[in-house]
Amino acid sequence: MAARREILGKLVLVSGSAEFLVQRTVAEWQAELSDQVADADVTHAEAAALDAGALAELTSPSLFAASRGVVIGGIDNLPDDMHGPLVAYAGAPAPDVAMLVLHPGGMKGKALLDRLRGAGVHEIKVEAPKPWKMSAWIAAESRRLGVQIEPAAADLLHRAVGDDIRALAAAVEQLCSDHPGARVDVDLVNRYYEGRAEIKTFDIAERAVAGDAAGALELLRWALGQRVALPLLTAAFAITVRRLIKLAFAPGGLSGGDLAREVGCSPAQLTRLREQTRGWDASGLATALDAVAAADAAVKGGAADPGHAMEHMVLTVTGARVGKPGR
C-alpha cells in the first residue's frame, strides 16, 4: 500500500482476482485517504462507462471537498479510446486527487496494464496464494497484525479452515486479537479448532500412510461417531496419497520451494511427506490409490455399510506400505 504521503497525486493500480483481497485493499486505501484528508470526497465508477468527459469530471476538484478519491473498477473493460487518456493521466495525476484503478487479472486489458506499468504507477498485486504457499501467507498475515505464528501452526490452521482466504484472514485476525504479541503455536491452534472434521480427516490419512493402523482406526471411529461426511475422509486420503505419488516421482534437484510447488503442498507438509515416502514403493502407492478410489465409490454409491468400507480402506492403505503384512 502507498505510504500516507503518497495517497494524493498518485494513481495506484490494484491487479488480481482475489475479490476479498481487492475489497480489503480498497478499504485500507480509503482509510489512509480519510486519515490524510478527513473530508475527502470518494467516488466509485466503472471503467466500461467512462468517456473523456467523465474522466475529466472525476479528476477535477470536488464541489464538496478540497481533495477527492476516485476508485475505478474493471479497467479490463475500459473503452479502447480511453486507454490513452488514462495512461496520460497516470503520468501526470492531479495533485489533489487520489486514484485507485482495479484490474481483475487475466489477459483481457493486458495491453493497458503494461502501459500503466510503463507510466510508473504503483501496483498492488492481490492474487490468492497457491495451496503450497498458503501457510506462508498465513504467517505474513500474522506478522501484519503484529503476531508471530509457528510454521506448523500456520499449516494446521490452513488444514482446519481450508483455502478460503476470507475465512483464513478472519481466523488469523481472531487469533491475533485474542493473543496480541504472543507467539501462536500448534497447541493454541488446536485449542481453537479441536474437533474440526477437516483436521481429523487428514490426521486419519496421515496416520494410515505412516503405517499406524491402530491410531488411524481410533480416529476413524471418532469420525464415524461424529457423523463426519465420509467423502471428506476419502478426499483427504486421495490428496495425501496423490501427494506421496507426486513426491516419489518428482524430478531430482528441485529446491524445497520448487518441490513443494510440484507436489502441491506447503513446506511443513512437505517435511512430513518426505518422512512418509520412505515406507512406500510404486506398487504400494498404486494399491493405496485403488483402495481410496474403491472406498470413495462405495460411500458415494450408498454402500450398505460405509463404516466397513472406511475401515477396509484404512487397513488396505496401512498394509500397502513396504514390509507390512500382505505385501
Q: Is residue 93 part of a domain?
A: yes
Q: Are residues 226 and 299 in the same domain?
A: yes
Mean pLDDT for the stretch of residues 51-61 = 90
Q: Final residue of a domain: which of 125, 154, 172?
A: 125
Average pLDDT for the chain: 86
* CATH number of the structural domain spanning residue 140: 1.10.8.60
Residue 151 CB: number of other CB atoms within 10 A? 16
Asked if residue 185 and residue 204 are part of one domain, the reply reads no
Helix or strand (DSSP H, E) at 10:
strand 10-15
> Looking at the structure, do residues 237 and 222 belong to the same domain, yes or no?
yes
Q: Report the percent of the chain where pLDDT is more than 70.
A: 93
What pLDDT is stored for residue 325 in this prediction?
Answer: 43
Residue 155 in grid coordinates: 499449516
Task: Say if residue 99 is in the same domain as residue 139.
Answer: no
Q: How confident is the model at residue 4 (pLDDT cuts 50, 70, 90)?
A: very low
Same domain, 101 and 135: no
Whether residue 327 is contained in a domain is answered as: no
DSSP H helices, 145-264, are: 151-161, 165-178, 186-193, 197-209, 213-225, 230-248, 256-263
Q: Is residue 326 part of a domain?
A: no
Same domain, 59 and 106: yes
How large a percentage of the chain has pLDDT more than 90?
40
Q: How far apart are CA 327 and CA 266, in angstroms?
A: 31
pLDDT above 50 (res 3): no
Number of domains observed in the structure of the chain: 3
pTM score? 0.62
Q: What is the DSSP letter of 229?
A: -
Last residue of a domain, one of 79, 106, 125: 125
109 belongs to a structural domain: yes
The Cα–Cα gap between 61 and 58 comes to 8
pLDDT tens string 301-310: 766 788 899 9
- Here the cell at position 127 is 492474487
* CATH at residue 211: 1.20.272.10
Q: Does residue 318 surpass a pLDDT of 70?
A: yes
* 265, 290: one domain: yes
9 DSSP 8-state letter? T
What CATH number is associated with residue 33?
Answer: 3.40.50.300
For the segment 218-232, what is each residue's pLDDT rounded down to a tens digit? 989 988 887 888 888
Q: Looking at the structure, do residues 14 and 98 belong to the same domain, yes or no? A: yes
Which own/partner pairs from 133-140 qualify as long-range (CB within 8 Å, at least 24 positions apart)?
133/266, 134/158, 134/163, 134/168, 134/266, 135/266, 135/267, 135/268, 136/266, 136/267, 137/165, 137/168, 138/168, 138/172
| Alpha-carbon span 96 to 201, nearest angstrom | 55
Cβ 155 vs Cβ 145: under 8 Å: no
Cα separation, 73 vs 71, in Å, equals 6
Instruction: Judge whether 314 and 209 are in contact, CB under 8 Å.
Output: no
Integer angstrom CA distances of residue 306 from 139, 225, 260, 295, 312: 38, 12, 34, 8, 10
Report pLDDT digits (tens) over 242-296.
989 999 888 888 877 788 888 877 776 777 788 878 889 999 999 999 999 999 8
**What does DSSP say about strands 183-184 and 97-103: parallel, antiparallel, or unpaired?**
unpaired
In the chain, how many H helices and how many E strands? 15, 7
Higher local confidence (pLDDT), 247 or 132: 247
In whole angstroms, what is the distance from residue 183 CA to residue 148 CA? 5
Question: In which domain, by residue range, is 147 found?
Answer: 131-193
Q: What's the confidence (pLDDT) of residue 287? A: 95
Sequence-ordered list of residues with C-beta below 8 angstroms from that of 217, at least 6 positions apart, any chain: 311, 314, 315
Answer yes or no: do 238 and 183 share one domain: no
Is 289 found in the same domain as 227? yes
- Residue 287 and residue 267 in one domain: yes
* pLDDT at 119 > cutoff 60: yes
H or E segment and range at residue 77:
none
Assess whether 201 and 188 both reside in one domain. no
- Residue 149 pLDDT: 93
Of 146, 173, 193, which closes a domain? 193
How large is the average pLDDT for residues 29-47? 86
Between helix 186-193 and helix 151-161 the angle, nearest 10°, is 20
pLDDT (0 to 100) of residue 64: 65
Rounded average pLDDT over 156-167: 83
| Residue 238 contacts residue 226 (beta carbons within 8 Å) | no
∠78-91-94 over CA atoms, to 5°? Answer: 90
